[in-house]
């Protein structure tokens, strides 16, 4: 505590003066509690014991054998679910519950252990840890590309443009930074539907690299041009600070950070990446 014995003695004297009673019987090189001091000790000890119990309950994991993850529906569908089986193989003792939702949950009223969110990383009363970067670029189905002769960014004026209603990943952001003129767009509320629109040969979608890359690998989508935008939003792990000390959450964080690093190494952009301006 970095408090000297003399300072402690002075504080005890001040407390005795304030209470109007002596708390200790002072003897040569020793002290013992008075009757009043004994009463005060028992009551304060009970109070500190309650505080200790409260801290223990707050940090205690009510479901140590189940890991509940709240994540964006699009991220769950196109990135997390295809990989989560590897985590289960490594940790079969943990049951998994994945809850797709966009809004940030209230941890006090939920059994969720950790959230994955796409944003700036500032969430009230939560600790957030960046685990994966993101870039945006246009994609379309190969058939749509052939039908409309769209191979470069200058060809986008011939395309029907598909976008998310999320402000950070719509065509307005792209056009502000790249300078191409759009036609009226098809809008979906949700990145997973934007991607499905492109897969359904509806047009050119502005989408996230993390969601589109495996479809590009499979030949189901093609990327238009060689430019990508890095938005101000990225992927974060979010939870109350104490949650990150729970063993199961520490295991998951380590695993997903390794997966993200491996993905970003394998899925090299091979693009000119521009920092988006808003």
The answer as to whether 10 is a domain residue is yes
For residue 61, pLDDT beyond 90: no
- Full residue range of the structural domain in which residue 153 is found: 136-230
The answer as to whether 116 is a domain residue is yes
Q: What is the mean pLDDT of residues 234-255?
A: 96
Residue predicted with more confidence, 256 or 35:
256
Q: Are residues 107 and 153 in the same domain?
A: no
Q: Are residues 102 and 112 in the same domain?
A: yes
| Residue (of 20, 23, 26, 13) closest to 43 by Cα position | 23
Q: Tell me if 59 sits within 8 A of 71, measured CB to CB.
A: no
Q: Are residues 102 and 116 in the same domain?
A: yes
For residue 20, pLDDT beyond 60: yes
The answer as to whether 111 is a domain residue is yes
Give percent above pLDDT 70 in the chain: 92
The tokens for 234 are: 């990225």
Based on the structure, what is the number of domains in the chain?
A: 3
Q: Is 121 helix (H, G, I), strand (E, B) or coil?
A: coil
Q: Are residues 12 and 146 in the same domain?
A: no
Q: Tell me if 145 sits within 8 A of 151, measured CB to CB.
A: yes
Tens digit of each residue's pLDDT (9 = 90 or more) over 150-187: 999 989 989 999 999 887 788 888 888 887 666 668 99
Q: Which helix (H) or strand (E) holds 164?
A: strand 161-164
Tell me, yes or no, if the pTM score tops 0.85.
no
The tokens for 134 are: 């993101």
Q: In whole angstroms, what is the distance from residue 227 CA to residue 269 CA? A: 9
Q: Is 116 helix (H, G, I), strand (E, B) or coil?
A: strand
* Amino acid 57: pLDDT: 47
Residue predicted with more confidence, 211 or 47:
211
* Amino acid 223: pLDDT: 96
The answer as to whether 276 is a domain residue is no
Q: Tell me if 239 sits within 8 A of 123, measured CB to CB.
A: no
CATH number of the CATH domain containing 164: 3.40.190.10
Tens digit of each residue's pLDDT (9 = 90 or more) over 70-111: 999 999 999 999 999 999 999 999 999 999 998 888 898 889
Q: Are residues 226 and 140 in the same domain?
A: yes
């Amino acid at each position: 505590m970095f408090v000297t014995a003399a300072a402690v003695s002075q504080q005890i004297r001040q407390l005795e003066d304030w209470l109007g009673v002596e708390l200790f019987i002072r003897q040569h090189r020793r002290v013992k509690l008075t009757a009043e001091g004994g009463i005060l000790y028992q009551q304060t000890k009970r109070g500190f014991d309650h505080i200790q119990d409260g801290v223990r309950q707050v940090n205690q994991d009510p479901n140590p054998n189940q890991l509940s993850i709240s994540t964006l529906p699009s991220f769950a569908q196109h990135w997390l679910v295809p990989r989560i089986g590897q985590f289960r193989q490594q940790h079969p003792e943990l049951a998994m519950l994945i809850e797709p939702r966009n809004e940030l949950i209230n941890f006090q009223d939920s059994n969720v252990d950790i959230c994955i969110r796409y944003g700036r990383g500032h969430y009230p009363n939560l600790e957030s840890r960046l685990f994966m970067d993101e870039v945006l670029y246009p994609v379309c189905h190969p058939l749509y590309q052939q039908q409309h002769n769209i191979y470069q960014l200058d060809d986008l004026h011939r395309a029907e443009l598909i976008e998310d209603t999320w402000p950070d990943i719509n065509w307005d952001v792209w056009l502000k930074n790249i300078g191409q003129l759009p036609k009226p767009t098809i809008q979906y509320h949700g990145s997973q539907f934007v991607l499905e629109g492109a897969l359904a040969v509806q047009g050119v979608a502005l989408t996230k690299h993390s969601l589109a890359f495996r479809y590009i690998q499979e030949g189901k989508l093609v990327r238009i041009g060689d430019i990508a935008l890095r938005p101000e939003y990225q992927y974060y792990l979010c939870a109350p600070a104490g949650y990150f000390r729970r063993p199961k959450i520490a295991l998951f964080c380590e695993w997903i950070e390794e997966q993200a690093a491996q993905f970003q190494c394998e899925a090299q952009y091979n693009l000119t990446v521009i920092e988006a301006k808003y």
